[in-house]
Amino acid sequence: MGQMRTTWADRVTILAFAAVGCILFLAIGQVTLLELSWPQLAAYLDKVLDRSVAVARAGIDTIAVIDRSGAEICSASDLGNMRYELFLNEYLSDIGRTVGNRILCSAGWGQLSNSVALPEPIRRQTSGTELWANARSPLDPRLVVDMARRGSVIVFTSPSAFKPFEGSDGTLAALVVTHDGRHVFRAFGDTRGLGARLTAAQPGFEFGPRITAVSCAGTFDICVVAALSNVNILRQPAPIWLGIGAAGAVTAGCVGMVLVQRRRVLASLPQQIRRAVSLGRLTMAYQPLVRLSDRRMVGVEALARLTDDRGRPIPPDIFIAIAEEKGFIGVVTRKVISLTLTQMRGRLTGDEAFDVHINFAVTDLLDDRLLTYLDGEVSRLGISPARVVIELTERSTAEHDRLREAVETLRRRGYKFFIDDFGTGYSNLAYLARLPINGIKMDKMFTKAIGKAAASSAIVDTICATARSLNVELVAEGVEEPEQAARILELFPRAVGQGWLFGKPVPAEHL
């Protein structure tokens, strides 16, 4: 049969596994990337929250210090205190004093000649603090500032307070808001959808390409919603995701190859032979047995033919040997008996002398149930047991005593018994003497050697002499040339020939 070739189905299976492996490894790579990205997002979130709290604390603490100073509003002492606190605080750009809704002075601008009105705050905290975010500075409209006021003290957040978080690489974003999300202190990067994330339920798992996280301060009304974008394995440098995908394809492709090989094992010859027999793909061919003296056909040898799952023939020497080795030769033999006796019934029940030769394994002869089956088929079809010749290939020397008993039983029932492929197995004169045989079949390797190889040709003489001495019939296999037939006839006048000189194996209807 040779080595099984890879079929399209095998290739598709392997390619499918490779594709799945590529996708699976990329998915694993994506999960790994997520695991590596979460610490980056968490660190960024903590930094933004820490800075937000620090800025808020700086403003609230400064308001408290100025408020507790007791200095007269906008006096030289008050301005000095505010300038000192401003010098100490890196997160504030100015500190001022208000009365009502107007700014009277500030550490940076000093005493204002005309007070400046404040816009309406965007939020009033329960603590009494008023907040402005991204508002035009009342003191210099060119500036956009955040402001916080409690009592008469107002502080202005420095534009550089959040400078480290501005102008990022575009993958990080953050929204600094109040707990309820209604007031936005600061926004960095692409914050679309982050406001809703604050009040939405925590997602079970974010697979990317954008992951988000939320954290809130305990002592201040501040929360930060942060996001990290481009968390996508396919957006990483090409060598990374190509390598991961290739590794997955190779790994899963190898798994696919193993499974294909496994499938081949399951579909190997032993299994195929079992299926072929059970599905009726075993057929019979018959090769004529011709009496050399008058060239009359006196019988046929039944030869089993079998095809695999793809309709290709399995050589008999292969599937018979496998069936014997795997222990289901009896199933094959039963099928051969049924087909042969049914198809040859017309010739076997006629008046003309005609025998059919059927091959049996040693295990077949030792199987009482198979012999009972043979008797049943012969009786059912009305065939005389004398028309059935059982051929035993000498592949085993075991069970001689039981084998002799089986042969004797068959002989008593009327069946004939031949040793097949004589000269190539374990038979010898003592072996033949113990078995009550009717004839022997000389292997074709000796027939083909007639007139060519002196040693093998001498063996032909010996085999013919053995048949004469035992007074048994002789069938010569592999007769292809008239010279071979003439030599065998000369050595054994009652010999029967089998070979292409007389006919190839054919179906029953073509005999």
Q: What is the length of the chain?
A: 511
Q: Tell me, yes or no, whether 418 and 365 share the same domain.
A: yes
Q: Tell me, yes or no, whether 463 and 504 share the same domain.
A: yes
Q: What is the pLDDT of residues 142-167, one digit of tens each?
A: 888 899 999 999 999 988 889 888 86
Q: What is the pLDDT of residues 279-315, one digit of tens each?
A: 888 999 999 999 999 999 999 999 999 988 778 888 8
Q: Which residue has the higher pLDDT, 260 or 112?
A: 112
Distance CA 53, CA 76 (A): 31
The answer to whether residues 52 and 224 touch, using CB atoms and an 8 Å cutoff, is: yes
CATH number (domain holding residue 482): 3.20.20.450
Q: Tell me, yes or no, whether 373 and 478 share the same domain.
A: yes
* Residue 499 resides in a domain: yes
Last residue of one domain, picked from the residues 157, 188, 203: 157
Q: Tell me, yes or no, whether 424 and 276 share the same domain.
A: yes
Q: What is the pLDDT of residues 154-212, one digit of tens each?
A: 999 988 889 888 866 778 999 999 888 888 888 898 888 888 888 776 666 677 788 99
* Residue 226 resides in a domain: yes
* Residue 220 resides in a domain: yes
Q: Tell me, yes or no, whether 273 and 288 share the same domain.
A: yes
The percentage of residues in the chain with a pLDDT greater than 90, rounded to a whole number, is 48
**DSSP states of 350-390 as a string?**
SSS--EEEEEE-HHHHT-HHHHHHHHHHHHHHT--GGGEEE
Q: Tell me, yes or no, whether 59 and 45 share the same domain.
A: no
Q: Under DSSP, is residue 106 helix (H, G, I), strand (E, B) or coil?
A: strand
Q: Which residue has the higher pLDDT, 499 or 231?
A: 499
Q: Tell me, yes or no, whether 153 and 172 share the same domain.
A: no
> What is the β-pairing status of strands 223-228 and 172-177?
antiparallel
Q: Tell me, yes or no, whether 407 and 273 share the same domain.
A: yes
Q: What is the pLDDT of residues 38-61, one digit of tens each?
A: 899 999 999 999 999 999 999 999
Q: Helix H segments across 173-289?
A: 194-199, 238-266, 269-278
Q: How many folded domains does the chain comprise?
A: 3
* Residue 65 resides in a domain: yes
Last residue of one domain, picked from the residues 233, 261, 285: 233
* Residue 442 resides in a domain: yes
Contacts of residue 93, defined as CB under 8 A and 6 or more positions apart, other chains included, come to 108, 143, 145, 156, 157, 158, 159
Q: Helix H segments across 267-367?
A: 269-278, 316-326, 329-343, 345-348, 362-365
Q: What is the pLDDT of residues 320-330, one digit of tens each?
A: 888 888 888 99
Biggest CA–CA distance in the chain, Å, is: 149
pLDDT category of residue 3 using cuts at 50, 70 and 90:
very low
Q: Tell me, yes or no, whether 408 and 457 share the same domain.
A: yes
pTM: 0.53
* Residue 111 resides in a domain: yes
> Quick one: how many helices (H) and strands (E) in the chain?
15, 20
Q: So what's the pLDDT on residue 427?
A: 52
Q: Which of 217-231, 287-301, 451-465 has the highest mean pLDDT?
A: 287-301
Distance CA 122, CA 132 (A): 6
Domain extent at residue 206:
39-49+165-233
* Residue 256 resides in a domain: no
Q: Tell me, yes or no, whether 405 and 311 share the same domain.
A: yes
Helix, strand, coil percentages, rounded to 5, for the chain: 45, 25, 30
Q: So what's the pLDDT on residue 2?
A: 41
Q: What is the pLDDT of residues 369-406, one digit of tens each?
A: 999 999 999 999 999 999 999 998 755 555 677 888 88
Section 344-367 average pLDDT:
91
Last residue of one domain, picked from the residues 157, 173, 203: 157
Section 254-263 average pLDDT:
76
Q: Tell me, yes or no, whether 139 and 174 share the same domain.
A: no
Q: So what's the pLDDT on residue 391?
A: 93
Q: So what's the pLDDT on residue 280?
A: 87
* Residue 491 resides in a domain: yes
Q: Tell me, yes or no, whether 285 and 193 share the same domain.
A: no
Q: So what's the pLDDT on residue 453?
A: 67
